[in-house]
Structure 1
């Protein structure tokens, strides 16, 4: 009898450990609730996915493994203040607010010397072009397809190389401060293949003033990734791309001082640190 009880206890312990792993996996990987980070917030158990918004933007909601618990995967804008923040949650039975805490994080500065001032103080003609390009990118980031991403812990889009400029840097070009760095730079040789880190739909293929040759992929539920300074593009707008398929090659087009991939990740129209999705976040 004792051995039988021991076996049952062991099975139950293994089963409970499995549930604990399922319950903690996404949060352990992605929950970095700082400005420019990601908050993984439990919404409790529901018969269907709640609808969630943050700062009037729809938020990704996923089921927690094979359970009836749902999680909100929330992008936190880089300019957010620390302290308590609230999600707006709607279910068939009503609406409620769910709070989460934004923790502090300090970002470093970066001073970059460019050979030409045309990327520091663009001409009026170039400013018109920049405004058009910004509008296209703004629309792409704001899009919310209801398809669930194939994976939210993402693959590294290029092999090898080092992280040359992290997310969130306060950047100074030729001594003039510009917007903080909204992505992660990975320094690899020109021509290095760039691959999709998850399934998605290509929404932008273009050659931009600052970004150079650029690709946007919409992965669903407000997760959008951008790849820029490419030397070549291997996809077309509207194309469905699978995880691991090549979308282009690394280059140094646009405002760039050398070959690298500039990679953006956006959630609910907030640019967040791509290192979080690779397990390389630095507190």
Structure 2
């Protein structure tokens, strides 16, 4: 906090101004002459005066709350070409996850229940135009020790904390579409070299390849959890949060229906 300024003017009636200036400048070596009316004449200081410089503090503005209406979302592109929403509600958002006392927050595209070939490296594309917010090019694969530690933490807490959930999402790309609307592409095996934070992308642009990064099975039973976990985030929540399965499905069917834009 900036130090409060002293009100020297209040002292003029009781203290010679020359003395005050002399004291403020730190000693008697400065040659300062003050006339009777209080105005200074030329002076020649013999000592340098240190000047305090304010240091700018880093400032990160808090984004305004999203005004996006989830019910107005249309025009998204399927993140896997030719895919459809899974038939199982367990693979849809807000499906209960009793083992961690939580809920599924996205759509899981697996082979056999998504109308498309899902394999390691299957192309993942941007669901809408936007700006890349996160791209884990330097991702480090999960280890058995981490899985044991995270499972123990979840068991002790009775739920999976945000850090644990983020670790289990593996290699990720996030795209910001404006007004609080963000899509996440998780468990990726690879990220396209053209994808980097701050880069503008278009709908349908290659993001990366499907994998199983971040899943416990990636280290305990490789090649058994190949899928894309795709999230639509609005503000601090996910599309479908707190809603019943039929309503969630209707929201996502509408989101992937033809439209002029994402509505953001």
TM-score grouping bracket, smaller chain normalisation: 0.3 to 0.5
Report the TM-score, using the length of structure 2 for normalisation. 0.46
Which has more radius of gyration? 2
Structure (1 or 2) with the greater strand fraction = 1
